[in-house]
Amino acid sequence: MISNALSAVWARVIFRRHNVKIRNINLGEKPVLLAPMEDVTDQAFRLLCKEFGASMVYSEFVSADALIRNVNRSLEKIRVDDRERPVAIQIYGRDVPSMVEAAKIVESEAHPDILDINFGCPVKKVAGKGAGAGMLRNVPLMLDITREVVKAVSIPVTVKTRLGWDVPSLYAELGMRNEELGIDTHSPAEHSIPHSSFLIPNSKTPFIVELAEQLQDCGIEALTIHGRTRSQMYQGEADWTLIGEVKRNPRMHIPIIGNGDICTAEQAADAFSRYGVDAVMIGRATFGQPWLFKDVRTYLDTGLHDETMTLDWKMDVLKRQVKKSVEYSLREDNALKERKRTELGGIMHVRRHLANSPLFKGIPDFRQTRVKILRAETQEELFALLDEAKERILGIAENR
């Protein structure tokens, strides 16, 4: 777990100053990246996060099969605006031919800076079919896909994955058969084990350390590791100790990017100083606060929080996010489904971000307002609800 209470974090962070590069792409010192998230990191949101200091942004993940079938929604996901560069497009699939073809489509049609392969998505509709984190149960195929995708494109290829399939696999040797791990590859049954079961004797090289080496040998140029197993989904706490072990492996020479439970500037600083990662990736913590990148960047560079971000400023940012989402949905040249090419389409996409904004934590009886936000259908409705929330926050401050 990354500590929330850190007294001298910044002093420990500055010991290592170097620019992180993925081939010729310079991400600067201590880069902070926006994670790929389905139905979240569309172009409008990526541009906003980039504006606030994200060192690199990632697209929503895209199905290789859908790209090959020329599905409009998937083609829209790989649209790139030069203002968001450097940008990575992430693809997922479950066989070599489709992943190779999809990689070529992405490179030729979208021209991203980086192609990222998703070997970490834990949701059943992806992992249950053998893609995403499902590849953690079939490492030979994972490596074959990676090797062939690297050969197929000229841009850098990176990978995002997890610590393992479940806790028993964390210290399993890659050469072990699935039967020896107690995994039935013909059954979708879960292997859920309480988080406390991470207390396993350190008698073997961790699975992720060996896997990282093999992925590096396939030619990838950076590796992102989410500090949970697939069976954990997003439950429990991310385990950064194993991410740190990968980074400390003297045989690793590619950048290691840590992901999981980075919600504050202090936690980002702790990840760099305590675990030595080259970059951190932030995902769900950006919901309703894309300005998090601005605060993290300021803290990493100065050791201080950004005091310029007032309540008024943050509310204006949320309204801008609404406007950008609607504008994106109404663009005549987008490839969204017709029902999403409306104001309502943009509202539906953005309103759950607003409902989950940390700004509103601590407001008494906010549940009904949150429900109203989730049901709003126009910009005017959302703006009125945001104004109401702002007044309630100010009222709380005055009464303290």
Distance CA 276, CA 174 (A): 25
Quick one: which of 19, 26, 49 has its CA closest to 36? 49
Distance CA 27, CA 119 (A): 23
Any residues with CB less than 8 A from the CB of 51 and at least 6 apart, and which? none
Q: In this predicted structure, what is the pLDDT of residue 341?
A: 64
Low-confidence ranges of the chain (pLDDT < 70): 1-17, 173-203, 332-341, 399-400
The pLDDT tens digits of the residues spanning 245-258 come to 999 999 999 999 99
Residues 62 and 92 sit within 8 Å (Cβ to Cβ): yes
Q: In this predicted structure, what is the pLDDT of residue 5?
A: 42
Q: What's the N-to-C CA distance of the chain in angstroms?
A: 32
- Give, to the nearest 10 degrees, the angle between helix 311-330 and helix 343-355: 150
Any residues with CB less than 8 A from the CB of 300 and at least 6 apart, and which? 10, 13, 29, 30, 32, 265, 268, 269, 272
Q: In this predicted structure, what is the pLDDT of residue 362?
A: 86
Distance CA 238, CA 10 (A): 22
Q: In this predicted structure, what is the pLDDT of residue 3?
A: 46
Distance CA 18, CA 15 (A): 10
Distance CA 57, CA 317 (A): 18
Q: What is the DSSP letter of 88?
A: E
Q: Where are the domains of the chain?
A: 9-302, 311-398
Q: Is 217 helix (H, G, I), strand (E, B) or coil?
A: helix
Given CATH 3.40.630.30, say whether it is the number of domain 9-302.
no
Quick one: which of 171, 158, 142 has its CA closest to 229? 171
Strand partners, 63: 92
Q: Could you give the count of Cα atoms lying within 13 Å of 194 in the half-sphere of its Cβ? A: 3
DSSP string, 68-82: HTT-HHHHHHT---G
Return the percentage of the chain with pLDDT > 70, whole number.
85
Q: In this predicted structure, what is the pLDDT of residue 334?
A: 63
Q: What is the mean pLDDT of the chain?
A: 86
Q: In this predicted structure, what is the pLDDT of residue 9?
A: 46
Catalytic, 121? Answer yes
Quick one: which of 367, 366, 360 has its CA closest to 390? 360
Q: What is the DSSP letter of 28?
A: E
Q: In this predicted structure, what is the pLDDT of residue 203?
A: 41
Select which of 49, 121, 218, 263 is catalytic. 121
Q: In this predicted structure, what is the pLDDT of residue 187?
A: 41
Q: Is 40 helix (H, G, I), strand (E, B) or coil?
A: coil
The pLDDT tens digits of the residues spanning 217-248 come to 999 999 999 999 988 888 889 999 999 999 99
